Structure 1
């Protein structure tokens, strides 16, 4: 998880890593960002954050990564650093002159610029009000609080530090408050090859908590500093749930792991992915991909096809279902028998028998990383539609 940049201090790196996680959203604008920049949502945000770092003067007045710099950043600067200044206007007919078109700010890329600016400014305002010079300092304090909670608990099987850190992040930063109330009493039943996922939402238990970016921040710190000798307290994250966005739920639906055909008709989920989970689709998706032998001959990335546009309620339900599905995947893996794990149960790319004993030790963050990586790196999976929710800063 090391970033390909030179940092003057550990706190500077922690600051950038935290801001990268904070801005890890815009998945609903994947297609327009591909059209505008040639990159998807995460790659566009990552390029923006790197440019933000390179163009900022550490400790200077123009340090846009400081709390003050974040608080004062403008849309024009965000568009410039994202490289989309020429992509944020739309043409409309003049109100009084027939045949004349006028340009004005608008369109999906402009929405992304507005959302990024909003998150940076509101986060900078929180940090300034609380007396933190930058986000890295705030996160470091949360990590230290988590470390104290860990030392106060002698049971090594309990990991209290992540609970403490998560609460600090979510309570303070609006863009980390990734939760929603689903109105009324609803029940979503998702048939899976593992059994049955039942997500019950009623007036007493209608809150859905995902906290994708806050959890990802904690795990990213573990990945970056877990094997280093830095002064950053490193939380244990093997027990964390997946970091549910739009990618993992969509892939799980396409693979037939989440079956929406049995969902409550009032939710409007059953027809979102009409070809998902069919025998024809699964035969193609579960076939081993061809080996890529020469990266220089790789085809340029195609602009992906837009997926179904969801409501906020639908998106949270699917994301919550994905969290449950991955929990069941882990439970199933941990309960595999010696017979299930025999070397002749599977083959690798060379046709050799594969030892599957490692399956019993997989963690939820590893499942998350694997699903996310194949969705990005495997060509046929990249073409799969992913659901779309615009206007959100949570994923």
Structure 2
């Protein structure tokens, strides 16, 4: 099997020290437990008061139902079969990273990370109907070149520098953030394609379809939560680009963001079809799909408190202050998202710092759901208009945080932390 890269890109991918996988049957539990332990050891505070303040705020109650339904998974393409659509959806989840290049992508092609990756995967699909061969097949992924990736993504992978000996002359050479991103995308596609070829699958969708069928058997015997764990484990163990875990200060953290996102994407896209073309797992108990948006937003919204952490407290100056929260937790009185203003780059983190904040977001969302489900009826209006808060799920909460960050112009301009050179978010 191809080697797993370091989470940092260093011109050539090298094998990094791989943490041990969780024990079989404990993947979901390990995400929750490792996140809470890492969050507490980093001295990050999350209080019931800060959670309740968010849940009962006009910003939350006035937008949750509408915004949490904005999943961004509509695929405006004509597919030959449900399996073809599942394959494209799976590759979209596989490539659901590039957040560290958000500002550069906005500058270069006018889209953020998610929209750029969506457009790229659509471009792969359209190119596969031409003379380029099926780029979405296992063999197509295995052989796609950086030049082809750059062409479909629509980015320039060269930077200009002054000539060493001729004054006034500039020359172009490979390099820069878009070159890094193209290399990351190419590695993920090449490596995953090679894994699928070695395992005998024609494409990623076929592997996921078989995994869902295995999950259905387990669900019939042991229930939906055991099935979800087994599906997650099979995906993560097989594909290195889904192995989102690390050792931080002697403690292993498990996030598995893209794999969890993929499983929920199947539920969102195919769960409402009767009968569904594939077995549909239950993701109601799934941990959130932690990236850079969730922790950054929860810091700005006053839920994640970094003030007790000496190394993390300087990262978001002013976030969570009373003045800031007065505006951010109020009902929106600014235009919806869609502005073409290029966002400002947030604090640049180390890989360890990013994992700590991502862990904090996982634990924060667990605590938000626990408190939401335990709220007394007396805190709600007598007309029952907010009783739905007691029934929200983790994936719904994830979708709200991620989507509301783009829904309000003032939220769009909030700084999100940056980690380049990672294939995990």
Fold agreement, TM-score > 0.5: yes
Give the Cα–Cα distance (whole angstroms) in 2 for the partners of residues 343 and 247 of structure 1.
Answer: 34
Give the Cα–Cα distance (whole angstroms) in 2 for the partners of residues 390 and 262 of structure 1.
Answer: 26
Matched, 1:5 2:80: no
Any gaps of 5 or more consecutive residues in structure 1?
184-202, 345-353
Q: Partner of 2:60 in structure 1?
A: none
Deviations 1:237-258 (A, max 9, x none): 0000110000010001111111
Q: Which of 1 and 2 has higher RCO (CA within 8 Å, sep 6+)?
A: 2
Once the 2 structures are TM-superposed, how far is the Cα of residue 301 of structure 1 from its aligned partner?
A: 1.8
Give the Cα–Cα distance (whole angstroms) in 1 for the partners of residues 338 and 80 of structure 2.
Answer: 38
Give the Cα–Cα distance (whole angstroms) in 2 for the partners of residues 287 and 359 of structure 1.
Answer: 18
Q: Partner of 2:270 in structure 1?
A: 225
Q: Partner of 2:125 in structure 1?
A: 53
Q: Partner of 2:136 in structure 1?
A: 65
Return closer, same or farther for 1:121/1:299 CA change in 2, 3 Å cut-off: closer
RMSD, aligned α-carbons:
1.6
Deviations 1:199-247 (A, max 9, x none): xxxx4xx111000000000000011111112330100000001100000
Once the 2 structures are TM-superposed, how far is the Cα of residue 96 of structure 1 from its aligned partner?
A: 3.0
Q: Partner of 1:377 in structure 2?
A: 407
How many residue pairs get aligned? The number is 352
Matched, 1:163 2:229: yes
2:359 to 284, 302, 320: 320
> TM-score, length-normalised on structure 2?
0.80
Give the Cα–Cα distance (whole angstroms) in 2 for the partners of residues 61 and 117 of structure 1.
Answer: 16
Once the 2 structures are TM-superposed, how far is the Cα of residue 299 of structure 1 from its aligned partner?
A: 6.7
SS at match of 1:208: strand
Once the 2 structures are TM-superposed, how far is the Cα of residue 61 of structure 1 from its aligned partner?
A: 6.5
Once the 2 structures are TM-superposed, how far is the Cα of residue 83 of structure 1 from its aligned partner?
A: 1.4
Give the Cα–Cα distance (whole angstroms) in 1 for the partners of residues 321 and 340 of structure 2.
Answer: 26
Matched, 1:119 2:201: no
Q: Partner of 1:186 in structure 2?
A: none
Matched, 1:301 2:340: yes
Give the Cα–Cα distance (whole angstroms) in 2 for the partners of residues 287 and 36 of structure 1.
Answer: 34
SS at match of 1:305: coil
SS at match of 1:261: coil
Matched, 1:136 2:202: no
Q: Partner of 1:105 in structure 2?
A: 174
Q: Partner of 1:362 in structure 2?
A: 392
Matched, 1:23 2:92: no
SS at match of 2:358: helix
2:301 to 228, 237, 255: 255
Does the 8 Å contact 1:48/1:81 carry over to 2? yes
Q: Partner of 2:378 in structure 1?
A: 339
Deviations 1:154-201 (A, max 9, x none): xx5x52111111111111111100011002xxxxxxxxxxxxxxxxxx
Matched, 1:277 2:320: yes
> TM-score, length-normalised on structure 1?
0.86
Does the 8 Å contact 2:142/2:194 carry over to 1? yes
Any gaps of 5 or more consecutive residues in structure 2?
1-72
Q: Partner of 2:217 in structure 1?
A: 148
1:78 to 125, 145, 149: 149
Matched, 1:177 2:243: yes
